[in-house]
Amino acid sequence: MKDTYMESKEKVTRSWYVLDAKDMPLGRVASKAAVILRGKHKVTYTPHVDCGDYVIIVNASSVALTGNKLEDKMYYDHSRYVGGLRERTAKEMREKYPVEMVERAVEGMLPHNRLGRQMYKKLFVYAGEEHPHMAQQPKKLELGGNK
């Protein structure tokens, strides 16, 4: 009988990938990024090891939201002081804070523990087309499907 292969953190090899979020639904971009950050696309995936790759998301300012989400979806933050609740619509977030909107979506799809925080550090989101990671020679990823 053959034993199950377990990846160790010393043997992990990481690649860089670029996802173009232009006119793609936010959920599809975030779920694809989360799968790559976790390493589930690799045959050497091990649940308790950070074996994922680096992800660069460009064009976050032109990500699509389906249905009435631009007006209906709300983002909440609280300062932990009385009356410190801040509410923003998805439209406001996409116009003023597109990077934060995409980062929140991806972070919500990662594990909520130390390992998830370690995976999240390999995510880089940019509002425009340009990114400063050309030296890493990232591979372009195509997202299947349309709006």
CA of 120: how far to CAs of 44, 52, 104, in Å? Answer: 19, 10, 10
pLDDT at 146: 52
Segments in the chain below pLDDT 70? 1, 145-147
pLDDT at 121: 98
Q: CATH top-level class for 16-64+97-141?
A: alpha beta
Smallest Cα–Cα separation from 126: which of 33, 35, 15? 33
pTM of the predicted protein model: 0.92
pLDDT at 87: 97
pLDDT at 122: 97
pLDDT at 26: 96
